[in-house]
Amino acid sequence: MVGSALNEASHPLWLLAELTYRCPMQCFFCSNPLAFATNREELDTEQWLRVLREARELGAVQLGFSGGEPLLRSDLELLVAEADELKYYTNLITSGLGMSEGRLKALKEAGLDHIQLSFQASSAELNDFIGGTKTFEKKREVAKLIKAHGYPMVLNFVLHRGNIDSVESILQMAAELEADYVELANVQYGGWAKLNRSVLLPTRAQLERAEAAANRFRERIGDRMRIFYVVSDYYEGRPKPCVGGWGTTFMQVTPDGTVLPCHGAQELPGLDLPKVQDASLRSIWYDSELFARFRGESWMKEPCRSCPERSKDFGGCRCQAYALTGDPANTDPTCQLSEHHHVVLEAIEHARQSEQGSTLPIFRNVRNSKAQR
């Protein structure tokens, strides 16, 4: 298959700019790497401006400012203004902490297009437990301000065993806050979520109830609020088309300038990780070993190599394949056809048998990050 159209690099459409790993929240499903606290280096304003320009030149058009908590960067307004000038569609992905009316106005003036606000649950008690910080009231306040200032608002809820039974009240709250979109995303088991999988993995019965509740609510509310329900690959028996295919559409720059084709790539073994300080984004996208490693199909093993689904799911998630089988080139074991699928079934069986609350979560904070080394 080498040389087929699929192996040729297209251009990126999405740039995720992780401005900082600093964050006032401690969510135990965070997708940041476990070792985030051991590297405090952050690109400066000039370096970020260059990243924005170079990625736009390559064709990236959707831009997410994320982290950590991106509001902790005092140059956020400046970066948004440059992004607007470059004609990106700009998305701020935030916990809401650090937001004020003044900042909302300044960001609007800078040209920010959209805000995605995360909640952890629909009750103060559960929200504040999961985030490890008292934030619920502040988040509600920020949601109202976002709407008052005319931004489109996506509310994001990561679903897991601890909050998935309250999908209906979550959607009720989102409707009251006048969200334009709600994202109910079953947790992906990378980063801190992998570490806390036994706390997070829901049972099949929970999942089915949640999906039914989301469908009922969707029928009731119609187009006024669009509900995106992101399924759990563990229970689907099919792998997800991770980042739309490695090195095809998505590019992420971490706080220290490392350029990645997916959220978890820095945890994969034996790959040199390029940095914006050493090379242009163009050469990283088109010429780096990292972006070429799982691009196209030539790296695939069986059963992916001859599978008719390979052009739809790209073999699933490389980081999950590595985490669960030790080899990132294996089929993602959430796939029923994987010879390692039993590890997923075992985790599901464990979730069914274990009692909720029987394991304590390890919160995403500096102390726990340093202890994970």
Instruction: Give the residues lining the site for other proteins (CB under 8 A).
Output: 11, 13, 58-59, 61-62, 64, 87, 89, 91, 113-114, 116, 150, 152, 154, 180-181, 223, 226
At closest approach, how far in Å is the CB of 334 from other proteins?
23
Q: Which is nearer to other proteins, 152 or 303 (CB)?
A: 152
At closest approach, how far in Å is the CB of 154 from other proteins?
5
Q: Which is nearer to other proteins, 168 or 180 (CB)?
A: 180
At closest approach, how far in Å is the CB of 182 from other proteins?
12
Q: Which is nearer to other proteins, 181 or 229 (CB)?
A: 181
Q: Which is nearer to other proteins, 59 or 237 (CB)?
A: 59
Q: Which is nearer to other proteins, 56 or 293 (CB)?
A: 56
Q: Which is nearer to other proteins, 114 or 140 (CB)?
A: 114
Q: Which is nearer to other proteins, 188 or 331 (CB)?
A: 188
At closest approach, how far in Å is the CB of 179 from other proteins?
11
Q: Which is nearer to other proteins, 95 or 369 (CB)?
A: 95
At closest approach, how far in Å is the CB of 33 from other proteins?
23
Side-chain half-sphere exposure of 155, counting CA atoms within 13 A: 29
Q: Calculate the dihedral angle through the C-alpha atoms of 169, 170, 173, 179, rounding to the nearest 10 degrees.
A: -150
At closest approach, how far in Å is the CB of 114 from other proteins?
4
Q: Which of 25, 350, 362, 39 is closest to 204 using CA atoms?
A: 350
At closest approach, how far in Å is the CB of 185 from other proteins?
12
At closest approach, how far in Å is the CB of 183 from other proteins?
9
Report how far apart the first and last C-alpha atoms of the chain are (Å, whole number): 40
